[in-house]
């Protein structure tokens, strides 16, 4: 049996028809980044720009995420960025539970293959899907959780800071906490 790879996961995502989201997508968005990173960022679903380009977080929210990473000395290429679901939901609606469940095996494989020490779920959908918690991001952001050998650091989705400017400062502080966690791994 051939060993699983991120490239294999991406190939399967691109041709996936497990849920109805494939009917309205332009391009599936498997995720991208370092295969050996210590940190993975997981959002909700691709948006319009991501659906067009086939890359995660390339729109306005992605620009902010890149700025936040740069502010703590990280490059996009040094982390892995993906979403709960790999296809854009119509009208940018949140993914439905059944869509998230059908797509989760791809994410689970990515997590296993990358094996990050720190996972940053971005926003409520990511927190609920990955951490199985019912609290909101406003309650959990910036608080590290140890689950097994992995640290989870929930943060706001960058899009939230685009709509509520005061959240940018909160996200900057949460990223400084991430930097501290990464430094503690060294």
Tell me the DSSP string of 105-125: HHHHHHHHHH--SEEEEBSHH
Query: Does 3.40.470.10 match the CATH number of domain 6-185?
Result: yes
Report the chain (186 residues): mean pLDDT per 10 consecutive residues: 91 96 96 97 96 96 97 97 97 93 97 97 94 92 94 97 94 97 91
Burial of 103 (0-12, 13-18, 19+ CB in 10 A): buried
Q: What is the structure's pLDDT at 1?
A: 72
**What are 33's two structure tokens?**
């980044």
Q: What is the structure's pLDDT at 134?
A: 87
| Cα–Cα distance, 154 to 137 (Å, whole number) | 7
Q: What share of the chain is helix, strand, coil (3-state, %, to 5)?
A: 50, 10, 40
pTM, rounded to two decimals:
0.96
**What are 98's two structure tokens?**
């059944």
Three-class HEC string of 123-178? CHHHHHHHHCCCCCHHHHCCCCEEECCEEECCECCHHHHHHCCHHHHHHHHHHHHH
Q: What is the structure's pLDDT at 135?
A: 92
Collapsing DSSP states into helix, strand and coil, what is residue 42? Answer: strand
Q: What letters, b where the CB count within 10 A reaches 16 and e where it falls short, cover 67-88? A: ebbeeeebebeebbbbbbbbbb
Beta-carbon count within 10 A of 122 CB:
27
Q: What is the structure's pLDDT at 128?
A: 92
């Amino acid at each position: 049996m051939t060993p699983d790879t991120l490239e294999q996961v991406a190939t399967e995502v691109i041709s996936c028809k497990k849920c109805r989201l494939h009917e309205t997508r332009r391009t599936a968005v498997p995720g991208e980044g370092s295969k050996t990173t210590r940190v993975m960022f997981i959002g909700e679903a691709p948006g319009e720009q991501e659906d067009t380009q086939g890359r995660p977080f390339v729109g306005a929210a992605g620009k902010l995420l890149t700025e936040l990473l740069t502010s703590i000395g990280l490059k996009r290429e040094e982390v892995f960025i993906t979403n709960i679901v790999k296809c854009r939901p119509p009208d940018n609606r949140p993914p439905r539970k059944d869509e998230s469940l059908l797509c989760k095996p791809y994410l689970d494989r990515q997590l296993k293959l990358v094996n990050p020490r720190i996972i940053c779920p971005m926003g409520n959908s990511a927190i609920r899907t990955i951490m199985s918690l019912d609290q909101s991001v406003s309650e959990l952001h910036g608080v590290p959780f140890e689950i097994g050998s992995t640290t989870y650091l929930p943060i706001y989705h960058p899009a939230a800071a685009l709509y509520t400017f005061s959240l940018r400062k909160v996200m900057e502080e949460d990223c400084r906490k991430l930097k501290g966690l990464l430094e503690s791994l060294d």
